[in-house]
Amino acid sequence: MSGIKKFVVGSFDDEAVLFPAVKNVRKAGYKIHDVYTPFPVHGLDHALGLRETSIHTAGFIYAITGTTTALSFMSWVFTKDWPLNIGGKPHFALPAWIPITFELTVLFAAVGMVLTFCYLCQLSPFVKKHHFSSRATDDHFVMVIECTDKTNEEELQSFLKNNGALDVNTQIAESGWWLGRYDREQKLYREELGY
């Protein structure tokens, strides 16, 4: 998946323009690498044809792992390893364990899902990915299209412009991630003129 690839990047400044553009680009058969937006755009995942996330299923599996861990650990401790008489209750005191079971279920589900989410999004300290446009975190919706051998760049650029892109360029960039803090050739804002 990863490696140095060639991309055509088009920036939009309006959701209302972005949606038909996404539709047209897909219809024309181009492969959209991703669309970077400053905020979550409702329905964009659907427009891009992304499949439903399976993170719920992962969450369910983490949750039942938590339930099983809590119940099996407590039953082992209180019936086998260290049976204590607590208020004359039976050693296998299920009602008393439910709150802990619940907490562990939630904890496993929550932590597991956050970690899974970070893994899927490749989010971690010192994991760096190429930024196609720094305005994607400010006011631009940035559509990135992956070029293949058959892609005609000029044609694609004018196609994007005709669909309302304000700023179109071609970039050769690393599509995966690398370890580091900044883009290799990136200038920090504070080093830029006029900051």
Partner 1 sequence: MSHNFQLPSSYKKWTWGLIVAGLLAVLYGFIMFHPFAHPAHTEGVHGGDSSTRFWAVLLQNSVYFLLITNAAMFFICVTTLALGGWQVAMKRVPEAISSVVPILGGITFIILLAIVLGGRTDIYHWLDASLYDKTSPNFDKILNGKHGFLNPTFFIVWSGLSIFLWIWLGQKMRTLSLKTDNEGQMDLVQSKKWMDTNFTVSSFYVVFFGLTVASTIPWFWLMSIDPHWYSTMYSWYTFASTFVSGMALIAIFVVYLKNRGELEYVTEEHLHDVGKFMFAFSVFWAYLWFDQYMLIWYSNQPEETRYFIDRIGTAEKSGPYHGIFFFNLIVNFLAPLLLLMKRGAKRNWTMVTFVGLLIIFGHWIDFFQMIMPGTMAAKAELLPFEFGVACLFIGIIMWGVGRYLTQHSLVQKNHPFLKESMIHHT
Least gap, CB of 40 to partner 1 (angstroms): 13
Report DSSP state, residue 50: P
Q: Which of 32, 41, 58, 96 binds partner 1 (CB under 8 A)?
A: 96
Q: According to CB under 8 A, which residues from 53 to 72 bind partner 1?
A: 56, 60
Structure tokens at 81: 């390893």
Query: Is residue 42 near partner 1 by the rule CB under 8 A?
Result: yes
Give dist(CA 145, CA 7) in Å, integer: 5
Query: Is residue 95 near partner 1 by the rule CB under 8 A?
Result: yes
Rg (CA), the chain: 25
Give dist(CA 21, CA 157) in Å, integer: 12
Give dist(CA 186, CA 177) in Å, integer: 15
Stretch in the footprint of partner 1 (CB under 8 A) among 77-85, 93-101, 104-112, 157-165: 93-101
Query: Is residue 40 near partner 1 by the rule CB under 8 A?
Result: no
**Cα 56 off chain centre by:** 14
Q: In this complex, which beta carbon is closest to partner 1, that of residue 52 or of residue 185?
A: 52
Q: Are strands 177-179 and 31-36 parallel, antiparallel or unpaired?
A: unpaired
Least gap, CB of 64 to partner 1 (angstroms): 11
Q: Are strands 141-146 and 4-12 parallel, antiparallel or unpaired?
A: antiparallel
Q: In this complex, which beta carbon is closest to partner 1, that of residue 85 or of residue 138?
A: 85
**Cα 189 off chain centre by:** 26
Query: Is residue 51 near partner 1 by the rule CB under 8 A?
Result: no
Q: In this complex, which beta carbon is closest to partner 1, that of residue 60 or of residue 182?
A: 60
Q: Which residues bind to partner 1, rule: CB under 8 A? A: 42-43, 52, 56, 60, 87-88, 95-96, 98-99
